[in-house]
Amino acid sequence: MSETFQKFLTRVAEAAEQSTLVKMTLSKPAQKHDELRNVYVKPVLIKEKRLFAFTYHYERRDEVKNYDAVQMFDILEEMLPTRFLNAVLFTVSEDVTLLVSSKGKATIQTKKVQGCREQNLEHDKQKSRLVNPANPWWYQLGLTTREGKVTADMQHKFKQIYKYAEIVESLIKPMKFAGTVYIADMGAGKGYLTFALYELLTQKLSMDVDIKGVEIRPDLVLKINEIINSNHLKGLEFVESSIEAYHPEKLDVLIALHACNTATDDAIASGIRAGAELIVCAPCCHKQIRQEMECSGKVDAITRYGIFLERQAVMITDTIRALILEYFGYKTQVMEFIEMEHTPKNVLLVGRKTSKEPKKSEILQQIKELKAQYGIESHYLETVLDLKP
């Protein structure tokens, strides 16, 4: 190590020993494509022991590790100038800057500060995120690298996952649950959104949960349960079942995202029968209503165009679902799930259980008129709930 680097480390050692080190930064990566962009160091007091907190700022995540003085100097010797070309030591009375030129020449600049700084030995907490890609299950699910960076081909998927977490947080936070919250995620598939839900509720909202991911494919159930068990995720489990056949004893929240065609209706019916406080659905395809509309022969200026027929079938299907939820005492809301550029299946249908008595006769009349207008004999959700408008 050159004399200049040794001089800088000596200044750091003196500041650490004399308790005058306020903070330190390492910046300007030696390799332009290094995922680690900079490092922030500050003294902390943890259980009466003075340590140094290193905050590693990567492109898409932060990581905090605590070291003693010896470990700190080992890391600095390793990183300067191999990984970082600039370093700044901030003490109570001066700033000491280490600069390395493009040709490898190192210089030190010292600047006195006005007044006197004070140390802050409080331990900084990591920023609380709704979904943290650094958690190991995201790598095991195939969305990130081992270092917690979202892979290029999963950027859109992770954005959808994060958007989902934001929406679910806004729906669940105002609600009052007593004790364990029982949740069923119907048609959970590869588990992306189920894990996001679990992470949000347990790590961000500190809730006690019992989440069941309902999936019919046994290979997926086996794989996901292995990931759950390897990470010791208490309160999360995948069960092998069709949506239609799954009937939970306790259910506070029902989630059904992209359950195909009438599987969404089976999920909604399950939530209604169980008296779930919150039902959240992102419907997938809408074949049943479209087929009835086509068979009826009732074609108007809009539905005679195939693409508009498809969109009309989507709106009618989900409108009747919303009306049926209202019939059973739910306040309904339809919102955008994620931007159309990421997926065309972007509608989220939300039902919150209320104590307000619904106007059932008016709702039944609305459903009847809507079906008559488009030649629809019955909506599958009516049939499964034995509802006769």
More confident residue, 209 or 287: 209
This prediction has a pTM of 0.65
pLDDT on residue 299 = 63
CA atoms of 157 and 318, how far apart (whole Å): 24
Give the mean pLDDT of 237-251: 93
Check if the beta carbon of residue 59 is closer than 8 Å to that of residue 149: yes
Q: Which segment of 99-113, 134-148, 151-165, 300-314 scores lowest on mean pLDDT?
A: 300-314
Q: How far apart are CA 136 and CA 144, in angstroms?
A: 9
pLDDT at 53: 92
**pLDDT of residue 46 exceeding 90:** no
Supply 192's token pair.
């992306």
Confidence of residue 259 (pLDDT cuts 50, 70, 90): confident
Distance, in Å, from the CA atom of 376 to the CA atom of 389, rounded to the nearest integer, reads: 12
pLDDT over 90, % of the chain? 55
Backbone angles phi, psi at 345, to 5 degrees: -90, 75
Mean pLDDT, residues 8-18: 93
Q: Is the pLDDT of residue 5 over 70?
A: yes
pLDDT at 301: 61
pLDDT of amino acid 343? 42
pLDDT digits (tens, 9 = 90+) for 48-81: 888 999 999 887 678 889 999 999 999 999 999 8
Q: What is the DSSP string of 260-271?
A: -TTHHHHHHHHH
The Cα–Cα gap between 174 and 170 comes to 7
Q: What is the mean pLDDT of residues 79-85?
A: 92
Mean pLDDT of 259-279: 90
Homologous superfamily (CATH) for 136-384: Vaccinia Virus protein VP39 (3.40.50.150)
Describe the strand order of the beta sheet including 21-29 as a list of residue ranges: 62-67, 49-58, 36-46, 21-29, 84-91, 94-100, 106-112
Whether the per-residue pLDDT at 363 is higher than 90: the answer is yes
pLDDT for 342 equals 40
Q: What is the mean pLDDT of residues 295-302?
A: 67
**pLDDT of amino acid 312:** 81
Distance CA 204, CA 173 (A): 11
- DSSP annotation of 201 reads I
Q: What is the pLDDT of residue 123?
A: 56
Percentage of the chain surpassing pLDDT 70?
Answer: 92
DSSP for 168-193?
A: HHHHHTTS---SSEEEEEET-TTSHH
Looking at per-residue confidence, does 308 or 97 come out higher?
97
pLDDT band at residue 336, thresholds of 50, 70 and 90? confident
Strands of the sheet with 347-353, listed across from one edge? 236-240, 209-215, 181-186, 253-257, 278-282, 347-353, 330-336
The reported pLDDT for the residue numbered 124 is 52
Over 50: is that where the pLDDT of 89 sits? yes
The domains of the chain are located at 3-112, 136-384
**Tens digit of each residue's pLDDT (9 = 90 or more) over 96-132:** 999 998 788 899 999 998 766 777 776 554 455 788 8
